[in-house]
């Protein structure tokens, strides 16, 4: 069978789960442990874990992680739910890459035993992090001196008094060298996405973001300007495409509806998405067809019609060109 056609960079993130390599990764998994303190923010912890779990779905064994507790007992979260965790052991931390302290709004500012442990971890070059008010414990241990950090507003004043050499920022997250911190659940997500991007590149981070926060990722550019929004003109054309997948529009129709010439449309796509409008439109249709095949009970013929293909044979040929197998062999999760 011929080598599958490569999706353009933007649409490849939407299909990364189906395109992931099954070969063994040369890079060893990055080990992250989370120390859960009493009344820790369940939302911050779970969203951070969700990023790592999703990264592993897209790139096998990228991360390994364990929730820890100070005494090995269940830990009570801010939601009143208890979580089973492994007892924190200094010996077990020797193989760790990153240790994250997970606090919450009502987490008591105690745990003096953390000071020595965090200091030892820092001395051995381990990366350290804090969620919600977790940075407070890093500051008290003296391992945030000359670092920037993010912490929930309720604890900023206290951290400033405890650790005057720490640069406290109003940002929802801060990734400063080997110190990582987030002040909120949204910040925890962005922080972990930043870690994924640092370790494994933009492609994996964008794939994770596409799955977890699609509304925020769908209008991103690719390349050096990946954080910039699409231009208004390009967004209009993309929305026209997305809203007309069953009965597709010609390039002349797209030009007429958007008020741009065909040449201008081509330049917009090449400059901001790195592909042609025709190819991008096809990849939107292929992506929709893959989702329908996986998550609905529609037949291959019904999917072909829903995605604007004139025949099953043409649909099968286009589908196989991207995925390396026909739509009849796609995994059906909706049946």
Report the 10 Å Cβ neighbour count for 100.
28
Enter the tokens of residue 299.
């037949």
- Calpha distance 136→109 (Å, rounded): 8
Give all domains of the chain, ordered by start, each with its CATH number. 9-212 (3.40.50.880), 232-329 (1.10.10.60)
pLDDT per position as a tens digit, 108-153:
989 999 999 999 999 999 999 999 999 999 999 999 999 999 999 9
How many other β-carbons are positioned within 10 Å of the β-carbon of residue 159?
A: 24
- One-letter-per-residue 3-state SS of 196-252: HHHHHCHHHHHHHHHHHCHHHHCCECCHHHCCCECCHHHHHHHHHHHCCCCCCCCHH
Residue 71's H or E segment, with its range, is none
Closest CA to 205 of 62, 96, 4, 309: 62
Select the more confidently predicted residue: 315 or 12: 315
In tens, the pLDDT along 238-294 reads 999 999 999 999 999 999 999 999 999 999 999 999 999 999 999 999 989 988 888
Q: Which two three-digit tokens encode residue 102?
A: 């997970």
**Mean pLDDT for the chain overall:** 87
As given in the structure block, the two tokens for residue 176 are 């400063």
Cα 198 to the chain's mean position, in Å? 12
Residue 253 half-sphere exposure, CB side, CA atoms within 13 Å? 9
pLDDT for 216: 47
pLDDT beyond 70 at 9: no
* Nearest alpha-carbon partner for 65 in 79, 83, 85: 85
Cross-strand pairs, 69: 87
Q: Say what the pLDDT of residue 227 is.
A: 36
The predicted pLDDT at position 187 comes to 95
Using 50, 70 and 90 to split pLDDT, how confident is the model at 223? very low
Q: Tell me the whole-structure pTM to 2 decimals.
A: 0.72
Measure the CA–CA gap between 274 and 54, rounded to whole angstroms.
Answer: 26
Which one, of 252, 255, 329, 315, lies nearest residue 282 by Cα? Answer: 315
The answer on pLDDT for 222 being more than 50 is no
Q: pLDDT tens-digit profile of 13-24?
A: 556 555 554 444
pLDDT given at position 10: 59
pLDDT of 224 over the 90 cut: no
| Banded model confidence at residue 73, pLDDT cuts 50, 70, 90 | confident
């Amino acid at each position: 069978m011929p080598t599958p056609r490569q999706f353009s960079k933007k649409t490849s993130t939407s299909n990364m789960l189906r395109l992931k390599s099954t070969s063994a990764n040369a890079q060893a998994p990055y080990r992250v442990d989370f120390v859960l303190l009493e009344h820790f923010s369940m939302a911050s912890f779970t969203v951070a874990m969700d990023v790592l779990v999703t990264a592993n779905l897209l790139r096998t064994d990228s991360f390994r992680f364990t929730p820890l507790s100070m005494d090995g007992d269940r830990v009570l979260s801010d939601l009143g739910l208890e979580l089973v965790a492994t007892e924190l052991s200094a010996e077990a931390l020797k193989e760790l890459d990153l240790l994250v302290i997970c606090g919450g709004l009502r987490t008591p500012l105690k745990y003096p035993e953390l000071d020595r442990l965090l200091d030892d971890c820092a001395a051995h070059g381990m990366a350290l992090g804090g969620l919600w008010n977790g940075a407070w414990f890093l500051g008290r241990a003296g391992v945030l001196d000359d670092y920037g950090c993010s912490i929930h507003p309720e604890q900023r004043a206290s951290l400033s008094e405890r650790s005057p050499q720490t640069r406290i920022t109003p940002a929802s997250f801060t990734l400063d060298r080997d110190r990582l911190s987030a002040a909120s659940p949204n910040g925890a997500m962005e922080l972990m996405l930043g870690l994924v991007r640092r370790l494994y590149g933009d492609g994996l981070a964008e794939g994770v973001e596409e799955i977890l926060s699609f509304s925020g990722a769908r209008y991103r550019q690719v390349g050096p300007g990946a954080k910039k929004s699409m231009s208004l003109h390009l967004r209009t054309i993309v929305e026209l495409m997305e809203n007309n997948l069953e009965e597709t529009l010609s390039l002349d129709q797209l030009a007429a509806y958007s008020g741009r010439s065909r040449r201008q449309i081509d330049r917009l796509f090449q400059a901001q998405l790195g592909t042609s409008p025709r190819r991008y439109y096809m990849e939107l249709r292929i992506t929709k067809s893959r989702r329908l095949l996986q998550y609905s009970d529609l037949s291959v013929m019904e999917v072909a019609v829903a995605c604007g293909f004139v025949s099953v044979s043409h649909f099968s040929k286009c589908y196989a060109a991207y995925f390396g197998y026909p739509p009849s062999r796609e995994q059906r999760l909706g049946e």
